[in-house]
Each structure stands twice: as structure tokens, then as C-alpha cells.
Structure 1
Amino acid sequence: MTAPAVTESATGGPNAERRALLRRRGLGLEYATLGWNVIEIGFLIFAAVQARSVALAGFALDSVIEIFASLVVVGQLKGATDPQREKRAVRLIGVAFFALAIYITGQSVLTLALGIRPDSSPMGIAWLAATAVVMLALAVGKARTGTELDHPVLRAEAKVTIIDGALALAILIGLLLNAVLGWWWADIAAGVVLIGYGLREGWHHIRQ
């Protein structure tokens, strides 16, 4: 027995049943992102302490911020938020990104001043490699769902998820250089990437 064809509305978009399905799919993708980030925080904090890694500590804090960002999108998909609360939430996310940049700057300066040499972190390397793959897969799903649903926030969240994957890849390269070549400063350099990312995202969210 073949499945019934999906009908389109008079405006050419998906009908109500299809839109409900797409919203559930979008929520599922956001919940998957939330779940990954929650688990990630524990892994990365442990790995950061073990390796004395500025980059891993910064990425763990970034995961906390991304959790709040995903919650904003979940509220929109559920229709459980209003424009004023949403604007306040977006501004708070921007402030949090600035705080992230300030923290990593201070931690990097302290690490250099005290002569701390970050160790290699096999756990951090494995997790970041997995994160890069998972974030890319989630981003593709969000982009397709957001495009069909014509949901600009979900499409924007897909771009953020791609950036998260790219950020994980950049930090992964720094950790690999430290582990393979002994370039301890590559960990600090990866942290600098996070500083630039935090400033950029902070300014972007506050302007919104």
C-alpha cells in the first residue's frame, strides 16, 4: 500500500499536517543538539582539567551558551515565547558570549604568565572529532527542515550549528598539533579562535 501524497496549500507551502511534522522534526533536531551539548560539558570540563587546556575549557563554556540558544529556538518552535522575552534572551546570549571571550583571554594570559604547558588530551581529541561530524549532520537536518517549513530562525540555527562544527574542528587541529608535534602553544592559539568567535557572536546577538 503506497503512502498518500503530501498536498500543498494554496500558497504553495506545506499543508498543516506537513507543517506539524516539520515542527516536530525541528524540535527533535534541537533536542538532539541540547542533549549532545549537555553531555559534552561534562566530558570537556574533565578533559580540560586533566590537560590544563584553555581551548577545551572555552569550548565547554561555549556549549553552555549554545544550550540557552537552542532553548530559545525550542520556545519559538513550540510557540511558547513572545517577541519581548525572545529579544531579552538573545541579548543575554550576546552578553554571555562576551563573557566567554573575556574568560578565555584572562585564562590564556594566566596560562602564559605562569608558564603552564597544556598537555595532550586524547579524550578531548576524540570528542571534538565526533562533535564536528555530529554538528554537521544536525546542521544539514535543520537547514532542510527550516527551508521546507520556511522558518528563518531554524535556518539561522542551522548556520550556527555549522559554525559550532567548524569551531570544534579548529580546536581539534590545535589539540592534534600539541599531541603530535608538542606545540603546546597551539592550544592557546585555538583558544584565541574562541575569543574571536565570542566577540563576533556577542556583537551579533546584542545588535539583534
Structure 2
Amino acid sequence: MPQHDIPDDKCLTEQGFDEMDSQQSILLIACGALAREILDLKTRNGWDHLALTCLPAILHVYPERITQAVEDAVAKHRDQYDRIFVVYADCGTGGLLEQACKRLGVEMVRGPHCYSFFEGNDKFAERGDDETTAFYLTDFLARQFDAFVWKPLGLDRHPELRDMYFGNYTKLIYQAQTDDPELTCRAQECADRMGLEFERRFTGYGDLQTTLTDWAGARPKSS
């Protein structure tokens, strides 16, 4: 993917991201943590009819704000596109996002969170209780571990609290969307800092890819 198509980390975590065109017929309203993956899939598949707007990824630190942010984005853009899809799973909203999407007549990604749909929701569910003590990282979180985990928990100021937060975990599972040795090294360092065993599991884009493929072929509601 061309380098200029990749949003920088500040844009993803704090400001959101837009790649929109009034000539496109389908809008994806997505979590900023998925921007790189969605842009990659768009480029690979030639999905030029898909427009993308991303809400700030930092909303995941405040999941109670996600539903309203999505509702506001749908209301803002509804008249400009034939179809709108929401590229979020439940993501800690306790079912509120799903209720809002049904009320607004828009589809969202199936699953409880991105760890599930990257692995594949069915496969993730099958693992069930076997991984209740696992801490998951994606490519995005491997890049943004300090901003989304270490600093919000205050561990940059009080590293002695590490075991209080992570003492019930046994391993860190890095769900790799890409084969990137640098990200694997970062994920390993995260596991070391947390005092956990490390496992790398290549998932690719999982159900995100199949879902977007389905949506890319969706007909306009008016047809």
C-alpha cells in the first residue's frame, strides 16, 4: 500500500481519519484502530466505491462514548451515501451499539471485539474458557501499547502496579494481521514488560475481510 495512504498514529488515536468522496456510494464508519487494515483491503481489492471515515481510536479507552459517536457520524453522512456500514464490533458498549445500529438501519461487524473477528468469531468462540487468562494484542496495539495500555493504567508512573493489573494473566497473544518482524519484536517486548509468556498467532484480517467483501458487493438500498 502506498505510504501516503497510511494515516499516522496521532491521527488514528486522537483525531480520526477521513478518505471520503461524494462520488462513492458506500460509506464505512470505522474505528481508527482499523484504518490501516481497511485501507489495505480497499487498495488490494480495488474497492473504489467505498468511502472511509474513522472515529478516533482513543474512544476505546472510553467505550461508553462509542455509540453516540457512531450515531452522530451516521446522522452527519446519511444523505450523502447509498449505504452506510459500521466497522465496529460491540467493543465494550454492552449491546448499546448494536441497538443503535438496528434503530438506524445500518449493519455493523459481528462479534464482541476486534480480537474475536480478527481470529474469526467462530474460532474465537471455540477457544472459550481455554484463553480466559490471555491478554491480546493486534498490530495496532503492538504499535500503540503505551498510549492504550501502559499510560492509561498509570504504569509509566507506577510500574510497581504491574502485577496488580496483570497478575491473573498467564500469556500475551499477539494476533498478527501482517508478517512484520518489527511488530513481532514490539509485541514480545510488551509481553516481557507485563511479565507474561508470549505467543504469536497469525490471523490476517479474519472476519473483517469477509465482512467488508460482503459489504463491498452490497446494492444500493433504492435498488
> Common fold, TM-score beyond 0.5?
no
TM-score normalised per structure 1: 0.30
TM-score normalised per structure 2: 0.28
Which structure shows the bigger proportion of residues in helix conformation?
1
